Structure 1
Amino acid sequence: MAEKDHLESAALDILPIENDPSAQQDDGEVFKSGAAEGNFRTLGWIPAAVILMKLCFATGVLAIPSAMVVVGYVPGIILLIVFGAVTTYYAYVMYDFRMRFSGVHNIADAAAVMAGPIARDVTGALFLLTWILATGSGLIGMATGLKVLSDGKVCTVIYAVVAAICTALAASIRTLGKLAILTWIGFACIFTAVFIIVVGVTQVDRPAAAPKTGNYDLNFIALGTPGFVAGLTATINLFAGYGSTPTFMPVIAEMARPKDFRKSLLTSQAFLAACYVAFGMVVYAYCGQYVASPSLSSAGGTLGKVAYGIAIPGLIMTSTLWVHVAAKFLLVRILRNSEHLQSNSRIHWITWLGSTFGITAISFVIAESIPFFSYLIGLIGSLCCAPTCLVIPAFMGLYIQKGEPASFRKIALTILHWVVIIVGTFFTVAGTYTTVQSIIDAYALGTDRAMSDLVRLITARAFVRPHTSVDLPTGSTASNYQQALWRSGGRGAGIVDMQSQNLRKCRTIPGQPDH
């Protein structure tokens, strides 16, 4: 009875399903089956699996090869497999949690069950921030692709506006069931584009970013030796490839049979892990330190244009899904338990369209403010995905175990949950700090602020002694410079900014002179 009172205090009408009479009639879901004006629950498990894959297989996959440049391929493969297993397990925990409580639609509702309305509001704000930032990264990817296709003849801000308009219009399709066919097309496009790059980099004489003449070194290494900042940022970039698992809960809410989610989850996550390892390894093996970020530019020339041309519909659909689930969160939050939630009323459509276009507009502003693709992915992974993919689901696991009798399984899972909470908290605090500092340093180096050509930059952090200067010949890369700095035995934070494979500018931070 005390638990029931606590749940009612969250003002969400969330109850354990076995104690909720209405749940016996319509399985306790927010969206009711067979609604006359708006039936949201039409997804089968196969379309749901494709949506889950498309939510993850997007801008995150484009950052994997450049992350392997930093950590090496052995840690890269291990981290991809471990992150895949952990996020799959905690996605199942989220599914298990929402199936135990009537009315849980998203991770903010779950937080309300565990800790009340304040936790709901904080978690909901974090959920929205996650997908606003993610959509911003998608707009950067789309604008970069359009710029590549046009040879840079039009301002990239215009391309970003076009991408934002397309995203908002597509995201305004009201149900995931109706978006399913577009999701199939989008997934096929982004997968084909990635496959073109994987095949393309194996067919060229040298990477597009490598020196045009003379010998070159790919620096293809099994184990990297990055500094703390570079290593943590790369690790979080690898983790971000699986960072969409909190969006799986709203997808379950639109499945005709929510219990089929387990099949969708295992299918999508197994496919993702296989693609991430294969794609990352092949591109890194053939491009080495000359891999581009986003990696669709790694093949260069005509292949790069073909890949971007095919990928753009896929990138649009990714941003569309991110805006859609964020807007659906707002729709449920505002209209929950009202007659307008599944109706065609004016209030419903004003709320829905205001949410989709409003979220897209904010994402556009962020894309213009933080035009650094890898750093934005890192910021999403640390500030947003770590708490929502790891920390909060681990607390959900602990909450589910309350009242269970002591056993070896319970002890083992409790240890796992607390380890994940600690790791997720570390990712959140340390990762956010290092990523924000990297963005500040990138601005200090004079990188363009509006949708910059970072696709042609290789940025690395090293530890150098203040006022340390290392002279390298034309054609040297950021990795060469980092190794030389390590040999010099320096300390302190340093940045190398490489453009067109020429050492353009290097300087120690903060406040050290250019060299």
Structure 2
Amino acid sequence: MSLSRHPSVEAGLKTIHHEKSEKHHTHTEVQPHGNAFDVYGDEDEAEIKYRTMVWWKAAALMLAETVSLGILSIPSAFASVGMVAGIILVIGLGVIATATGYLIGLFKLRYPHVHNMADAGEILAGPIGREVLGAAQVVFMVFICGSHVLTGLIAFDTITAGASCSVLWAAIAAIICLVLTIPRTLNGISYLSVASFISIISAVMITMIGVGVAGHQGGVKVTANLKFGTGFLAVTDIIFAYAGHVGFFTFIAEMKEPKDFAKALYMLQIADTTLYLIVGIVVYAFTGAATVSPALGNTNTLLRKISYGIALPTIVIAGVINGHVCAKLIFIRIFRRKGVHSRHMTTHSWTGWLTWTGICIAIWTFAFIIAEVIPFFNDLLGVISAIFASWFTYGISGIFWFHLTPASERWTTWRQKLKTIFWSGIIVMGAFIMVAGLYASVNSIVEGYRTGGFPSPFTCADLGLQ
């Protein structure tokens, strides 16, 4: 079903030419659809044009952003919860992530001026909502960038067998990501995304072939009897594997035809769910209880180095996409005021470029610090998934649905009643994931430090998988 056919979206796409009474606008007021309310304005004479992506390029960006690190934690999640639960979680969370992603597309078409979660927060709760969701998106994406720097560090240490100080490898990873983040539009990065996707697919294929050749290394559990904390930490890894929704508004904003977003979303969800199932089942089936995370570490030393070498592009490029979206949010916030954007957004001015570059440097500096201060892969993903992905990927879409659907329409038919119950459940689900996931992740981190399982911050020790 096309996004533009949804009744709430059709209402949002009509231009309002006359004033309506406040009584009729208290819940469903729509911004006029036109260049004056588009985040980038009229681009006919612009030096830098943003709205240039076709749907498949948006799909490539979404695949690169979502699949890159998420797929590396799937086999270990299967090892924790068992084969059956792993399969059910991947499919179930994937289906729900598709529904919530579709709702984000509806919300964007309903309010064309929305560029990021901060703009959505302003619609939902005024200035307070804008600041809360804007800050949350920035923090979340900086942490994701940090996880990419950490994974880059692990990759370099693995490839070189710890030939240099790990702090240096983290710095190199951050600098490479910084340089590739500098282009101002997502259209150019979309081509890199294709290389990123090929990179991660090739790397996991080598891993799967490697574990297959090595044969079965341990028993496979159909089900698992776990403590709540241990089991839910594995669930947060799978949740993180679908945590690309935070960038969807920005991707749609730079598409030629925002209504084509559904095509990109379906391509993403079919591809990532299929990949997660294949990689999770195959790697866990052969490695069993010995499964490690990141997944590329489950082969012998030579194949491990080859896999990480091939995976380097996706580790970097996926980080670049997240860094770019984060920088774009801050950049837009600086140069857009009440629907009118500054010329620095669409011209090659010194002010525009220096501001953009400075934002990118700040993001990757913080990402480097996070990677060095929090040197543990799965638990880092668990914390940020619990606090942020629980809402950006799931809970917030339920709130969007209630905003788009007037109270008078929520209980009119059995279909509407089911939708109301479903989206209420999504909000509750987001809250539960946040509380339970944070509890499980913090417990795991405390236990890791208690047993001395984590290296100290800014250590030169070899953090690679040898």
Q: Structure 1 358/289 Cα, relative in aligned 2: closer, same or farther at 3 Å?
A: same
The Cα shift of 1:300 comes to 2.2
Q: Residue 390 of structure 1 aligns to which amino acid in structure 2?
A: Y
Q: Which residue of 2 aligns with 1:422?
A: 428
1:390 aligns with 2:404: no
The residue number in structure 2 matching 1:351 is 355
- In 2, Cα distance between equivalents of 1:53 and 1:4: 40
Percent identity, aligned pairs only, is 31
- The residue correspondences of 1:327-406 to structure 2 (distance < 5 A) are 327-336=327-336, 337-403=341-407, 405=409, 406=412
Q: Secondary structure at the match of 1:340?
A: helix
In the TM superposition, what is the alpha-carbon distance from 1:15 to its structure 2 partner?
6.3
Residue type of the alignment partner of 2:366: I
- Listed as ranges, the matches of 1:17-32 within 5 Å are 17=31, 20=32, 23-24=33-34, 28-30=38-40, 32=42
Which of residues 417, 423, 444 in structure 2 aligns to 1:411?
Answer: 417
What CA deviation, in whole Å up to 9, does each residue of 1:123-161 have, x standing for no partner? Answer: 111111111111111111111111111111211111000
SS at 1:379's partner residue? helix
TM-score (norm 1): 0.81
Alignment correspondent of 1:116: 126
1:140–1:54 CA distance, 2 compared to 1 (3 A): same
Match of 1:182 in 2: 192
1-structure distance, mates of 2:361, 2:380: 21
- Please say if 1:232 is aligned against 2:232: yes
Give 5+ residue unaligned stretches, structure 2. Answer: 1-20
Give the AA of the match of 1:165.
I
SS state of the match for residue 230, structure 2? helix
Structure 1 residues 239 and 371: alpha-carbon distance in aligned structure 2, compared to 1, 3 A threshold: same
Deviations 1:56-105 (CA, angstroms, capped at 9, x unpaired): 01111101100111100111011111111111111110110111113111
Corresponding residue of 2:207:
197
What is the DSSP-based 3-state SS (H/G/I as helix, E as strand, rest coil) of the residue aligned with 1:60? Answer: helix
Q: Specify the SS of the correspondent of 1:395.
A: helix
1:241 is aligned to 2:247: no
Is the alpha carbon distance of 1:259 and 1:26 closer, same or farther for their aligned partners in structure 2, counting shifts above 3 Å? Answer: farther
CA contact 1:91–1:246 (8 Å) conserved in 2: no
RMSD across aligned positions (CA): 2.0
Q: Which residue of 2 aligns with 1:512?
A: none
Task: Select the structure with the greater relative contact order (CA < 8 A; seq sep ≥ 6).
Answer: 2
Equivalent position of 2:455 in the other structure: 448
Change (3 A) 1:425 1:302: same
Partner SS for 1:102:
coil
| Separation in 2, partners of 1:116, 1:373 | 36
Structure 2 partner of 1:318: 318
Name 2:103's counterpart in structure 1: 93
Deviation at 1:30, TM superposition (A): 3.8
Partner of 2:16: none
1:154-165 alignment runs, 5 A limit? 154-165=164-175
1:40 Cα deviation from its structure 2 partner = 0.6
Instruction: Tell me what 2:441 maps to.
Output: 435
Q: CA deviation at 1:437?
A: 2.5
- State the match for 1:210 in structure 2: none
Distance, in Å, in 2 between the alignment partners of 1:51 and 1:127 is 18
Aligned residues: 437
Letter in 2 for 1:129: V
Distance change >3 Å, CA 288–CA 176, structure 1 → 2: same
Name which one, 1 or 2, has greater alpha-carbon Rg.
1
SS of residue matched to 2:232: helix
Match for 2:440: what amino acid?
Answer: T
Which position in structure 2 is the counterpart of 1:134? Answer: 144
